[in-house]
Structure 1
């Protein structure tokens, strides 16, 4: 019987075999296929879309559970591993910057030199833009306030003030949910749809993509909140929480550009 202890002579984490990557790949395929079927009006397209969403959400939750266990309980995330994870997060944010860059490019391409087909003006003739100093301004205040509160919670966690960290993170989540609810209300009250020419397409593509990022960021921060409550995070071990904060600040900055370009300048 071999009782030798296996030592690891490098600081990196070689993950154990996992079923989640391949299962999540098929879940995403189901989700994408369901979305295409639903958008084209096929029978049971909504059912396939719902199934794909549930499978994808479950697969992500189970995969993230394993990563949290590796970081919190098994001690697999050394300094080098955490540095690599943060580098991956920042590269992901850079890729998101270019995604929004393409949306802004399409918006300014259409608005700076309006085509004759839309009346040669921006907003196009027949379109009544939203008032930037109504819900959009309120959402700006909410989102910037949430960024301030999550920063407060982060510094409180580093200082060892657990209660302040919980309060700051909870307020961030509340403000984020209010932002999403107000944007839904704004969409329901808007006098134009995504099908109303290039203005509707540019407006909903830009604000809708940002809204999706707000929802993802809210879930990201909610996971960090639960982990703080459950004593998973300490003042020196909270890499996932820092990643969520970096992502949230990115969402804040993008919204400032959206408010100034799409709501304020684009609706003038």
Structure 2
């Protein structure tokens, strides 16, 4: 199905939309619900659920409008370029987002630990402090924890994500070659691998809490571990949803070899998620 019109010099301007306002309401409900839930005030969980439902409604409705505009031939090549620049800058902003957390990890390990064990602070303020990573939270107290091993679920999840990067590349090749069956199978496998990764990460978190006593309160290690892996898991979920929507659109014949930027955008994002996980595996789990 043709998704673009020939370049005519006109730039498509969408009609006024209610979806930004709906999204603002969703975020307000989520924020208020989270604040109440953290303080164990009764309506908190209900407001969180309502905010999540409104957010899903907004996403389905808004992206549905964009899809209908695309398959209806409303977008020209100039709009396509705008989409490409928009996705590129979005991924760049995500690089900066994770860069801040990797920077915090570097600061703690390479700067703060040596500083705290220096001649002045080490001898006078914390004479028993050891500049070792992961940093201990105290001598044999309830706050002690066991660091997460790299060779186990994390290594398996690394293999799964690397495999998903390969399958989404195969799907792209199949798109360009017009091999629809191969495209459907490879893209479906990518979504399945992404969801498998999330299930194994949930299992890993359960193991960390129940067996390793590793929580957000487990010092700098626990904080950076959950912030980096948790936000990465959120991005895997987002990428899986994007690829699932693209897979459903493939089944409906929305793309061809020349016009399939929605697929390309999701693939770019997925490769970004893969690269971030490789850095996580090396710097959080392995070293």
In which range does the TM-score fall when normalised by the shorter chain? over 0.9
| Selected match of 2:270 from 242, 248, 254 | 248
Q: What is the Cα deviation at residue 255 of structure 1?
A: 0.4
Contact 1:123 1:199 in 2 (8 A): yes
Contact 2:160 2:197 in 1 (8 A): yes
Mapping for residues 167-246 of structure 1, pairs under 5 Å: 167-190=185-208, 191=212, 192-246=214-268
Q: Structure 1 residues 112-121 or 195-204, which shifts more?
A: 112-121
Q: CA RMSD in A?
A: 1.5
Spell out structure 1 runs of 4+ moving beyond 6 A. Answer: none
**2:152 match:** 134
Counterpart CA distance in 2 for 1:147 and 1:129 is: 28
Contact 1:11 1:81 in 2 (8 A): no
Q: What is the Cα deviation at residue 43 of structure 1?
A: 2.0
- Which consecutive unaligned segments of at least 5 residues does structure 1 have? 1-7
| Selected match of 2:167 from 149, 168, 173 | 149
Contact 1:143 1:176 in 2 (8 A): yes
Cα deviation, 1:127-182, whole Å, max 9, x if unaligned, reads 31111011111100100110110010011011100001001101101111110000
**1:5 match:** none
Counterpart CA distance in 1 for 2:169 and 2:197 is: 18
Question: Could you say which structure has the greater relative contact order, defined with CA pairs below 8 angstroms and 6 or more residues apart?
Answer: 2
Q: What is the Cα deviation at residue 245 of structure 1?
A: 0.3
Where 1:227 maps in the other structure, the secondary structure is helix
Contact 1:140 1:255 in 2 (8 A): yes
**2:81 match:** 83
Which of 1 and 2 has greater Rg? 2
Counterpart CA distance in 2 for 1:95 and 1:159 is: 32
Counterpart CA distance in 1 for 2:223 and 2:178 is: 47
Counterpart CA distance in 1 for 2:246 and 2:27 is: 25
Contact 1:38 1:45 in 2 (8 A): yes
Q: Are 2:131 and 1:120 aligned?
A: yes
Q: What is the Cα deviation at residue 25 of structure 1?
A: 1.4
Q: Structure 1 residues 55-64 or 14-23, which shifts more?
A: 14-23
TM-score by length of 2: 0.86
Q: What is the Cα deviation at residue 50 of structure 1?
A: 0.8
Counterpart CA distance in 2 for 1:221 and 1:208 is: 20
Where 1:141 maps in the other structure, the secondary structure is helix
Distance of aligned partners of 1:39 and 1:119 in 2 relative to their CA distance in 1, 3 Å threshold: farther
TM-score by length of 1: 0.92
Counterpart CA distance in 1 for 2:159 and 2:8 is: 50
- Which consecutive unaligned segments of at least 5 residues does structure 2 have? 1-6, 118-125, 137-143
Cα deviation, 1:63-96, whole Å, max 9, x if unaligned, reads 0000000001x21111110110111011000000
